[in-house]
Chain A
Amino acid sequence: MSAPATVDLSCAELVELVTDYLEGRLPLDDRTRFETHLCFCAPCRTYLAQLRGAVAAAGRLSEEALPADARDALLAAFRAWRRGPGGAP
């Protein structure tokens, strides 16, 4: 038998559930407790916003350019592959 949704979730417990929450993988009663806690806890709302901010910041890393030397090495390899047998015309 599962615990009733009115059982309180502590802040320390909530921070361990944020990923399951954001992934949509919390069972319904846990999600209800999670969201109820958020209604009454400003620091946990801040925590959730920080975690979303961290996810967004990681997403912006995909836009970063490579160091020039790494780029040049791969370009040289590309030119060799193109010249070599089996390369594109």
Chain B
Amino acid sequence: MTGTPPIASPEPDASRPAARDDGALLEALRQGDERAFLALVDRYQAAMLRVARAYVSAAAAEDVAQEAWLGVVRGAERFEGRSSVKTWLFRIVVYCARTRRARDGRSVPLSALEAEGGEDDAGPAVDPDRFLDVASRYPGHWASPPQPFAEERLISAEAARRVREEIERLPPSQRAVITLRDVEGLEAREACDLLGLTEANQRVLLHRARSRVRAALERHLGEEGRP
């Protein structure tokens, strides 16, 4: 069914181009519009898989995402716009992932992610060798200072690939947090609600994840020579 798309209600993060017409896509999906479904899938499937993998294996995450999309299709009728479409989608995928985890006989504590905190590497944000040691005149100051990223290389497809690969290598809870916060642009409060994290824990996970992505970019942007 085609026609004039309905006007989407304002989204909290309307500054992101992708978020602007989620409401219109959901409305079209209610009418059974398959292009609207594909547009939402293109936009959110990768992020949904990353979030699901905080709870279940990579293989199970594929099933979980598919179940979540079924929930989206079935639930589109009842979506009332109290949250953004994006937040609603992630709530559905977290629900499906937690259900799957319980069905597989793994425990689902109130906060599955916090219980797994110990698996996350707790290394420093920057290699300690980059700083002067205590015997020096300026202990803790840069011995090997960072060099500015060249903007045109930072926005290259190659840099995007490095970022995606590093996010893939993160421990599951860090990956889920950076996906919701930095890839999808959700507020801290929303990410905490979705994943059942305290604000402090969410910030620790985000800090480790961002630090590693920065380091990966630095390795990449530094290794091929600078202009």
Contacts and interface: CB of A to CB of B under 8 A. Distances in A.
Contacts of B109: none
Interface in B27-54: 30-32, 34, 37-38, 41-43, 45-47
Main secondary structure, interface of A, reads: helix
B203 A23 contact: yes
Nearest to A49: B148
Contacts, number: 154
Contact of B145 (A12, A20, A46, A71): A46
Contacts of B41: 66, 71, 74-75
B73 interface: yes
Contacts of B18: 62-63
B154 A55 contact: no
B42 A77 contact: no
Interface string B125-168: 11010010000001111100111110000110001100110010
Contacts of A57: 154-155, 159-160, 163, 213, 217
Nearest to B86: A62
Interface in A54-72: 54-66, 70-71
A18 to B, nearest CB: 7
Interface residues of B, number: 58
B125 A43 contact: no
Given A23-B188, A64-B160, A65-B42, A87 B73 contact: yes
Given A51-B210, A51-B214, A66-B41, A61 B183 contact: yes
Interface in A1-47: 10-13, 15-16, 18-20, 23, 25, 41-44, 46-47
Contacts of A71: 38, 41-42, 45
Of residues B30, B146, B160, which shows the largest number of chain A Cβ atoms within 10 Å of its Cβ?
B146
B91 interface: no
A49 B184 CA distance: 20
A44 to B, nearest CB: 8
A54 B213 contact: yes
Of residues A53, A55, A57, which shows the largest number of chain B Cβ atoms within 10 Å of its Cβ?
A57
Given A59-B182, A64-B46, A11 B70 contact: no
Nearest to B154: A53
A12 B146 contact: no
A19 B69 CA distance: 33
B164 to A, nearest CB: 6
Contact of A81 (B73, B207, B210): B73
Given A18-B210, A57-B155, 19 more contacts: A12-B131, A15-B124, A19-B203, A20-B203, A46-B146, A51-B210, A53-B154, A57-B159, A57-B163, A59-B183, A60-B155, A61-B160, A62-B16, A63-B18, A64-B160, A66-B41, A71-B38, A77-B70, A78-B34
**Which 5 residue pairs across A and B have the least CB separation, nearest first?**
A10-B140, A43-B145, A19-B207, A58-B182, A12-B140
